[in-house]
Homo-oligomer: A and B are copies of this chain.
């Protein structure tokens, strides 16, 4: 049985381990600082498909099959798939997971979806409802750009606070294997809204949610930032990270040099012209699955807090003058014994 810690945290009593991960990315991510750590780097944005949306689904499908293969299990050993993406009605995940033929839970926390998938996946195992589950999330620069912003063909100018949607998909297989990294806690986020309306400044929209979840995590667990080798948010980017540091500093919580963001890690800001950094569901998913999971598995880091962050907007909500609420779901992971 899991234990409720404080208001928002669950501590897992059963050992829930991450058996394997897989990360597939686009060409730009392949050229970035983590390029060598991803399992698959696509040669182009279409992945052999006739539309970017079909490409995203194909990436989701192939990457999940790769994660299953890397876990050394069969497709039918996966009791549940939990997945989501940014597209309207989550078609990236739907059409990607269709051929897997496993019981399926579709999720939506915008770019925090990978955190939600890991959390609910761990809960399914803890409850005794599953032995192995798969968690995944995806995004694609071209599908996101044309859905949320402008036709790519326009070549619109990007403000400095704009982020770059990561192309790719990350997938993790959860199960039991004491040699593998273990999920010890999750802290589930609330919807937090500070009234930001600038759709070109997602970092500012999501920073209050990240701060809220981090504050809750430290309060619920009694841990401090220094108890982690790394605290890694999802896609706040350079400006959003600064806002979280400042907000929590005012409350007496000092986030130090062990606090970074997947959106900062995935691109070279100077060389790759990515402005605020990476974003999208895939940002946290591929950075964790490609980079941090490897460090945990190799015991180069012992304990980390992954905090995927999401901006809960649609073009309709923005056009109607709504603000952009954020959400962030934290997952504490330790390397195996």
A107 within 8 A of B: yes
Q: Which residue of B lies closest to A109 (CB)?
A: B106
B120 touches A88 (CB 8 A): no
- The reply to whether A116 and B105 form a contact with Cβ atoms under 8 Å apart is yes
Q: Please give the distance in Å from A274's CB to the nearest CB on chain B.
A: 23
Query: Which residues of the other chain, B, contact A84 by a CB distance below 8 angstroms?
Result: 108
**Contact indicator A123/B116 (Cβ below 8 Å):** no
Contact in complex: A128, B79 (CB < 8 Å): no
Which residues of chain A in 125-166 are interfacial with respect to chain B, using CB atoms and an 8 Å cutoff?
Answer: 126-131, 147
Q: How far is the CA of A76 from the CA of B50 in the complex (A)?
A: 49
Partner of A89, one of B88, B101, B124, B129: B88
Number of identical protomers: 2
**Known contacts A87-B314, A88-B315, A312-B94; is-contact A107 B108 (Cβ 8 Å):** yes
Task: For the complex, give the distance between the alpha carbons of A127 and B188 in Å.
Answer: 15
Q: Which of A22-30, A262-270, A285-293, A320-328 sits within the interface?
A: A320-328
Chain A: number of interface residues, binned into ranges: 35 or more
Chain B neighbourhood of A123, CB < 8 A: 120, 123-124, 127, 129
In the complex, the chain B residue whose C-beta lies closest to that of A1 is: B128
Measured CA separation A123–B121 after assembly (Å): 10
B88 close to A314 (CB less than 8 A): yes
Contacting pair B314 A80 (CB below 8 A): no
A328, chain B: closest CB distance, angstroms:
11
A53-B317, A103-B8 are known contacts. Are A108 and B79 too (CB-CB below 8 A)?
no
* Interface membership of chain A positions 75-109, coded 1 if the CB is closer than 8 angstroms to chain B and 0 otherwise: 00001100010111111001101101111111111
Query: What B residues does A120 contact at CB under 8 A?
Result: 105, 120, 123
- Whether A190 contacts B126 in the complex (CB less than 8 A), given A79-B4, A89-B313, A325-B98, comes out as no
- Interface contact B191-A98, CB-CB below 8 Å: yes
Residues of B within 8 A of A320 (CB): 50-51, 53-54
Q: Most chain-B CB neighbours within 10 Å: which of A3, A54, A124, A131?
A: A124
Interchain CB contact under 8 A, B89 and A110: yes
Whole-angstrom distance between the Cβ of A309 and the nearest chain B Cβ: 14
Q: Which residues of B contact A87 (CB under 8 A)?
A: 314, 316
B126→A129 contact, CB < 8 A: yes
Q: Does A35 contact B (CB under 8 A)?
A: no
Report if A189 contacts B (CB, 8 A). Answer: yes
Residues of B within 8 A of A110 (CB): 89
Q: Show 7 residue pairs from A and B whose CB-CB distance is below 8 angstroms, ordered by the A residue.
A: A86-B89, A98-B325, A104-B188, A105-B120, A105-B188, A106-B109, A123-B123
Q: Which residues of A contact B (CB under 8 A)?
A: 1-4, 7-8, 10, 13, 50-51, 53-54, 79-80, 84, 86-91, 94-95, 97-98, 100-110, 116, 120, 123-124, 126-131, 147, 188-191, 193, 312-317, 320, 322, 325, 327
